[in-house]
Amino acid sequence: GDSVTQMEGPVTLSEEAFLTINCTYTATGYPSLFWYVQYPGEGLQLLLKATKADDKGSNKGFEATYRKETTSFHLEKGSVQVSDSAVYFCAFTNQAGTALIFGKGTTLSVSS
């Protein structure tokens, strides 16, 4: 069935380190892909999205490229900050407007 596999956390990095959080998906058709972030005590917020193959989503220094051939949507950031500490969720939807299917989330902790 449809699913998202996300790298296990927690991920612990020092400030200015490079970040990669792997995400692969199993889906029918041509899904739209998302990364959401959940800061402590807050709701999920959309970080970035890509709706077709080879699209690159980007926001706040984070990037992810829709790779259809590898069914992946890995999240990257060149230089993390302490304020990036949060839980990151990879998600997709098979059909626009339908419910999102989420990965388990990856906790990122950045220290100064």
Partner 1 sequence: GAVVSQHPSWVICKSGTSVKIECRSLDFQATTMFWYRQFPKQSLMLMATSNEGSKATYEQGVEKDKFLINHASLTLSTLTVTSAHPEDSSFYICSAKHRGSNYGYTFGSGTRLTVV
**Residue from 48, 105, 108, 110 that binds partner 1 (CB under 8 A)?**
105
The smaller minimum CB distance to partner 1, of residues 41 and 112, is found at: 41
**Distance separating alpha carbons of residues 4 and 20, to the nearest angstrom:** 16
C-alpha dihedral, 105 to 51 to 27 to 102, nearest 10°: 20
- Report the nearest approach of partner 1 to the CB of residue 58 (Å): 15
Using an 8 Å Cβ cutoff, are 111 and 14 in contact? yes
Looking at residues 5 to 44 of the shown chain, list those that interact with partner 1 (rule: CB under 8 A).
32, 36, 41-44
**Residue from 19, 62, 85, 103 that binds partner 1 (CB under 8 A)?**
103
The smaller minimum CB distance to partner 1, of residues 6 and 85, is found at: 6
The smaller minimum CB distance to partner 1, of residues 99 and 112, is found at: 99
Using an 8 Å Cβ cutoff, are 74 and 20 in contact? yes
Looking at residues 43 to 102 of the shown chain, list those that interact with partner 1 (rule: CB under 8 A).
43-46, 49, 51, 89, 96-102
Q: Prior bond to 10 cis, omega within 30? A: yes
Residue with tokens 């959401």: 36
**Distance separating alpha carbons of residues 34 and 81, to the nearest angstrom:** 21
Residues that bind partner 1 (CB under 8 A): 4, 32, 36, 41-46, 49, 51, 89, 96-105
